[in-house]
Structure 1
Amino acid sequence: MSQRVFVFTTAYWPLIGGAEVALTEIIKRLPEYQFEIITARFKRLLPAKESIGNVTIHRLGWGTKLDKFVLVLTGATYAKWLAKKNKPALVWSMMASYGGLAATSFKKANLNTPYLLSLQEGDDLKALETKMKMLGAWWWFKKIFTKADHVQCISHYLADWAKRMGATCPVTVVPNGIDLKTFYCDQERLDTRTEKIIFTASRLVHKNAVDIIIQALAKLPSNFKLRIAGGGPEEVNLKQLTKKLKVEDKVIFLGNVPNHQLFSELNQASVFVRPSRSEGLGVSFLEAMAAGVPVIATPVGGILDFLKDNQTGFLVPVDDANKLAEKVSYITDPDNQQQVWEVINMARALIKNNYNWDHLAPQISQIFDHLIR
């Protein structure tokens, strides 16, 4: 009989972000386990309970934005009821978020059940800590870390945070990966087009600094265009900025783009840009690197785990549109193509060897085995 893992996560399929994609990729590579996903409902059209393969999804709440608080308040109680029928071998919290608070409450009442915390945070950590203090949940928030029996982090940046937050258990770095079958391309891409395409893929939120890309575009010649994949609360402001800087005819907002279309976008891009203000890791960078697209990023958070300046990508300072424009010009200049190709090839090799889900999921399985035995 399959061993059961209770997974507490604030959101899950079909509400997909970086952490949810990672969870899905790991689960489908661990068929020997039965996963019970305890999450917030958020949308009324989503069923309260749904089974897909070795996963049963339990969505709590009424289908509103407030369901994340329902998860916090009732998640542990629901899990206790679930455990009466099928006791879990492991409790797994995806991120130190609302689901993490529920997981901690469950762990407190089930001390003998091992508890794994996975950190996938990409937002500003100081802002997150401030938010928890303002909500009066700081002591509870810290218990997400202190009650864990093992913490798995997607970057060394987050591993340092876990220790700073009081984790005394083993802390392991296992990064997120990508599906090489979808994104990997080992063919040389000779970009001889007059029109140069800057491509970015991210949530349209402040921390991803799409505004800086638009400002940089305004400083570049007229043959440069910008294609933006993703949606979010900053979209209206970003569109207003394109009009203010008179570049609205050079910017295309694509909305949320499925994976198969994302590779097509990368395939026509001259350069991938995301000048993040904070970043836990950033799978979009890895996907671009695997596809053979030169990447421009900033030296923040977990980015430095995989992007070395002029080796596997190119770095620019945070909030510096001038430097970003200069770097885009440098990368797309035909005179610099030899160096750019060397960087692309090193980046592709790094992704193939170190960021392949088929290699990473077994590392998560090893953590499971260590905790359960």
Structure 2
Amino acid sequence: MARVLIAPADTRLSNLRYGKSYNVLNNMTADDVTIDALVGEEETAVEAQNVHVRELGTQNRLQYYGRSFRTAAREIRAGSVDIYHHMNLSYRWFNPVLLAGIAADTPTVLGPCQTGHAIMAEEFNNMLSQAVGYELPLPVSNAVYYPMNAVRDVTIDPVRMSLFRRTLEAADRITVVHEEAREAYARHVDESKIDVIPLGVDAELFEFTERQDTQTLVAIGRLEQRKGYDVLLDALANVVEAFPNVHLDVFGEGPEEQALREQAASLGVADNVTFHGYVDQSVVRDHLARARAFVHPSRSESFSLVRLEAMAVGCPVVVTETAGAHEMVRDGKEGFVVPTEAAEPIADALLELLSDFELTRAMGARARERVERNYDWRAIGQQYVDLYRSLL
């Protein structure tokens, strides 16, 4: 039986929130392939019998990656690995095991890989806090963020891109999450080694629900600048003029909450918005099941799983033109794809859905069909197993 070593896999293996690493691993069932996945900590047990999760005892990212690469190097040198897989390689990042040539004689997979997205100051704060293991005050991380941005193009990026390209060149196969990502990675490596395998959604958990003739809208995501909620509130003010009883339920927490509450009040739509904060996934699912539409005004995304969750329950979506948006959502079929930073197109799309219930129902049904066809985790896990088999 062939043995696959996935290292690194994820610092925190859990099915909470989106659980992309968990869902890929949980659906890699096979009789001829055994998989060892190194994680920082396992919070949700993987059910696939051929997948063995090994905890490295830390959620500190620096410690986890160091232990993961050292373990991978040792086991590859020992000759016990048939295929080596670095899961979730970040854009412009690298793998020291590949750079050192340790896996030169071992078939290697990188992915799922995504394109980068704009990192705002708040998000950089979250990333740096995770790296050091405790929450840093925003002024502290800003002292790093702004000077780093100023010198990045001439200092950090050239080195980082060189290591990134060399890592890609050393791999045998690279999986990316959509065609836009394929185009981005093909600028750095031979396109023939790139496969598109998207991320997915639990189609059983997010089961299809027929639309109701309501005026309820749902938005989900962290309350930060990148997510574009300020643009959504501007759009909502236009929608309220035609539909005074429309209501927007916002799920998520973050540093922009107070500013968004104040914006809603200044626009006169405070009574039309409820900020729920962070809630359990089942609560989000229930609200999506009752919603007229899901709206996602993000300024930048590398791959949006929450859009798939809305589509899975049969909710029409209004989404911005971030990476992979047109591949996931066909404009006018499963919903509407609108420009970023533009309130009027969002308002126009919402007004069309609120004005035409039959359109809402038809779009919702097509959204579910598209998820079942292209984004079911069960099929995605098997695509990875088939990729492994092709390398043996």
Question: How far off is 1:28 after superposition?
Answer: 1.3
Question: How far off is 1:146 after superposition?
Answer: 1.9
Moved more, 165-174 or 148-157: 165-174
Name the CA distance, whole Å, in 1 between partners of 2:262 and 2:52.
43
Question: How far off is 1:25 after superposition?
Answer: 1.4
8 Å contact kept, 2:236–2:347: yes
Render the CA deviation track for 1:311-352: whole Å, top value 9, x for unaligned.
12112221111221222122111xx22333332222222222
Correspondence list, 1:72-83, <5 A:
73=66, 75-83=68-76
Moved more, 86-95 or 309-318: 86-95
Question: How far off is 1:302 after superposition?
Answer: 0.6
In the alignment, what sits opposite 1:301? 323
In the alignment, what sits opposite 1:337? 357
State the one-letter code of the partner of 1:3. Answer: R
In the alignment, what sits opposite 1:318? 340
Kindly report the root-mean-square deviation, in angstroms, between the aligned alpha carbons of the 2 structures.
3.3
Correspondence list, 1:278-289, <5 A:
278-289=300-311
1:89 and 2:109 matched: no
Q: Which of 266, 274, 291 is 2:313 aligned to? A: 291
In the alignment, what sits opposite 2:205? 182
Matched position secondary structure for 2:219 = strand
State the one-letter code of the partner of 1:156. Answer: E
Measured at CA, do residues 144 and 249 of structure 1 come closer, stay the same or move farther in structure 2, by a change above 3 Å? farther
In the alignment, what sits opposite 2:127? none
Measured at CA, do residues 123 and 97 of structure 1 come closer, stay the same or move farther in structure 2, by a change above 3 Å? closer
Render the CA deviation track for 1:225-263: whole Å, top value 9, x for unaligned.
222223445445434543444544433333334433322
Matched position secondary structure for 1:137 = helix
Measured at CA, do residues 235 and 117 of structure 1 come closer, stay the same or move farther in structure 2, by a change above 3 Å? farther
8 Å contact kept, 1:38–1:58: yes
Correspondence list, 1:112-151, <5 A:
112-121=105-114, 123-124=116-117, 134=156, 136-151=159-174
Structure 1: which 5+ residue stretches go unaligned? Answer: none
In the alignment, what sits opposite 2:298? 276
8 Å contact kept, 1:266–1:288: yes
Give the % identical residues: 21
Matched position secondary structure for 1:76 = helix
8 Å contact kept, 1:146–1:168: no
Q: What TM-score results when the alignment is normalised by the length of structure 2?
A: 0.77
8 Å contact kept, 1:229–1:253: yes
Name the CA distance, whole Å, in 2 between partners of 1:242 and 1:10.
38
In the alignment, what sits opposite 1:161? 184
State the one-letter code of the partner of 1:327. Answer: A
Correspondence list, 1:2-21, <5 A:
3-9=3-9, 11-14=11-14, 18=18, 21=19
Moved more, 243-252 or 25-34: 243-252
Question: How far off is 1:100 after superposition?
Answer: 5.6
Measured at CA, do residues 172 and 50 of structure 1 come closer, stay the same or move farther in structure 2, by a change above 3 Å? closer
Question: How far off is 1:303 after superposition?
Answer: 1.1
Matched position secondary structure for 2:11 = coil
Correspondence list, 1:131-280, <5 A:
134=156, 136-185=159-208, 187-191=209-213, 193=214, 196-221=215-240, 222-280=244-302
Name the CA distance, whole Å, in 2 between partners of 1:361 and 1:230.
29
1:23 and 2:45 matched: no
1:56 and 2:53 matched: yes
Render the CA deviation track for 1:101-127: whole Å, top value 9, x for unaligned.
246547722211221111443642799
Question: How far off is 1:161 after superposition?
Answer: 1.0
In the alignment, what sits opposite 2:128? none
Q: How many residues align?
A: 353
Correspondence list, 1:96-111, <5 A:
96-97=89-90, 101-102=94-95, 104-105=97-98, 108-111=101-104
Name the CA distance, whole Å, in 2 between partners of 1:50 and 1:219.
43
Question: How far off is 1:174 after superposition?
Answer: 1.6
Measured at CA, do residues 238 and 105 of structure 1 come closer, stay the same or move farther in structure 2, by a change above 3 Å? farther
Name the CA distance, whole Å, in 1 between partners of 2:38 and 2:189.
25
Question: How far off is 1:201 after superposition?
Answer: 1.9
In the alignment, what sits opposite 1:363? 383
Measured at CA, do residues 350 and 107 of structure 1 come closer, stay the same or move farther in structure 2, by a change above 3 Å? farther
Measured at CA, do residues 10 and 223 of structure 1 come closer, stay the same or move farther in structure 2, by a change above 3 Å? same
